[in-house]
Structure 1
Amino acid sequence: MKLSSSHMDNIPSTPGKFKMEKSPYVHRFRHYSSLAKLTFWSSVFLALIILFFFKSPSTSPPNSTPPDLSRRSLKTTFWGGPAWEKRVRSSARIRSQNGLSVLVTGAAGFVGTHVSAALKRRGDGVLGLDNFNNYYDPSLKRARQALLERSGIYIVEGDINDAALLNKLFEVVPFTHVMHLAAQAGVRYAMENPSSYVHSNIAGLVNVLEVCKNANPQPAIVWASSSSVYGLNTKVPFSEKDRTDQPASLYAATKKAGEEIAHTYNHIYGLSLTGLRFFTVYGPWGRPDMAYFFFTRDILKGKSIPVFEGSNHGTVARDFTYIDDIVKGCLGALDTAEKSTGSGGKKKGPAQLRVFNLGNTSPVPVTDLVSILEKLLKVKAKRKMMKLPRNGDVQFTHANISFAQREFGYKPTTDLQSGLKKFVRWYVSYYDSGKKNSH
């Protein structure tokens, strides 16, 4: 739900002091009891809250097909019942000694799919949750879902803001860990649909933490922050100790807000929380809104591609990180996450609170990315050089990963050329069929 500032400005900040000078009705207002006033304003705010949470904003990008209106409700159909609970338990069953039982939100997403598969391979219990929104082609998410189902991973279709569903999942399975990857991604799209970022990245995170803090036992939580939180920071490489109070986009601001919210729930409720700041993740089964992905598509179609440059023809570079290296970091964070210390929503003692950079430590100019793709695709790109727009994109990113190296041995091993080779092989295989050429 979008609330206009002009509408909110019309609501008095202190209703009890609201005055109507020279009005013939002023005496009538004075006869209202304080209880009536309290009831009225409570009803107003309750209505706003209900409208916000039960009217999920569209997550369709600009110029996309109209959204499926059935997906605008937080109420998830087709969950519950003995058969459903059996599928949930089976998927989350631990099959290795000392294994974890992990709820993965955003499991049909890019990182979520790879992390879920890796956890399952080593014998952990894994249950997925995803709302399959249409921010990008849902058929790709369905294909990832099918991939995971073949390995025994069940993805519950639902929204992270659906508290009833989340509570039910925790009733059925006493998860030891939550890998919270569900989020509204993308820097530029935030200018088109800001409410979707607040809905998913702030309200959604709060709802997940609320359910986790009330669970008994409380799970340890690892969640996806972003390298975007460094915003306008110019000190390189980016360290977890650097300031992150100058976001360059709304997306970055919501992720920074998430880190502050995590601190609050850790402090008050004893939740063990680990935030992961991902740096430009790429690879097979990736996101179509990422540059390397749509560059590949448009180069093959003979279309021109926008290659941005900074002021005074400055280089735009990214710390591209291959998906397998990100997965290693996610599993390392899960394995070293300490238990939460709360019980029944009450903190019993200090709990672990961490944040890590997960990058490749080797920034590569975007022009070099295009050159590598040209060689792999054997097609010359039609480059259209453009100034970096003021839409939230930053000129460069560079991760300092020493903290993650020290805590759980994080060490990326895939360079951009090798990673893009694997991506192109997957891309050609996946899209080289008549059914998928219209993506």
Structure 2
Amino acid sequence: MMRLFGNRDKKYLKIAFPSAMEGIFISALSAADIIMVGVLGTAAIAGVSIFTQPRMMILCVTRSIAAALTIVAAERFGAGDRAGAGRMTTQTMALSTLLLTVIHIGFYINLESILRWMGADDTYIALAMEYSELALLGVFFTSLAAILQALLLGFGKTAFVFSINLQGNIINVIGNFIFIFGFGPIPAYGVFGAAIGTILGTAWTLLLTLRMSCKERVLHTADILPDRAYFRKFLPVFGSIFSEQGFERIGMVLYTRMVAELGVLAYAIHAICMNFCDFYYAFAAGLGKGSTILAGHAVGAKDEKAWREAKRLSFRWAFIFSTISFVLTYIFREEIFMIYSTDPEALYMGAIIMAVVALVSFPEGHQMVGAGILRASGKTKAVATYSFVSVAFLRPIITALFLYEFGWGLIGAWAAVAIDQSIRAGAATWLLSRLRWERVVR
């Protein structure tokens, strides 16, 4: 494929494609759990899936830290200041470890109440707790790895990060197979076995990330305490991205609660379709990371031509990959759904929702790369603003209207997703069309 395009396309794909594939394999970690526990019934699927929202609430903090660190590291790398990026990472890791420890302890103590608030009912709360109590530790490992990987991403080492996450996911899948179904002297643990597999995979990912980060030789324990310059540089970027991520989580929590009220079967169908939708969402997020890295390098080097080229290539490849995703998902929508569940009652509605999933690929990819360029260009507050309006405000209102007023059920819930993604894609396009280089580098 590389020979069919120019050198600039190759450069973009060298950065963005591994990052996008990294997103695919992170989604595969979640999908592996759902696919394998799917043979245990719809209650098991719901029990594992309901943990997704508490997990994403914690990762909202983690990803905000990591995204801010990637932006700063990419800019420092573009300016030739690797040591400064390493110092920023060391200080961020120290603060983040303390903060994330407190958050995870709080979630563990209140886990059942959180799961019930998310919509879990008595038919599967026991299964949800059986999985979630151990899987929460896996979220902690993932969080630490993601923050360290932000430095590697900022340096453009997306292929290394992809390799690390690929290995972790392979171990997770093997662990799932062994501990869910049993193997030799190891008994079948069911949904608890899926949590064991998650722990093994995330622990391996963290260890490899630590090893790779140390090889960069820019992390120094002497610089562990943040100084005034750290807070002045890092906190404004983090604050804007955290606001954006927080608004998205608020909207998704409200959205998921409304869908969960449709019943176990409907929620299981929704969970399957959302899990598959997350594959391309994560892929597009990886493209967005690539766009952030390339645009960040250009901003750090004060290279307007490279910045404009990053914009052009980002949107071009987002459209190409979105088209591929749409075609494959639409044509094989029934076969894809049957990988998760062969329940004939679920298949009919699942195939309809999968068609919507296919269509959503276009605004999804477009808005991800647009947001990535905006963040690297210093417009994190703008992204946070339109994310709040669309995800936290409009999506829950539209979902409630379609579900409660029009009675459209799952179709209405997914129509709300399509509208939300389209609004964000339009907002990113409009902001970028008004952005001038002089405002980026001032």
Q: TM-score, normalised by structure 2?
A: 0.25
More helix, by proportion:
2
Q: TM-score, normalised by structure 1?
A: 0.25
Larger radius of gyration, structure 1 or 2? Answer: 1
- For CA contacts below 8 A with separation 6 or more, give which structure has more relative contact order: 2
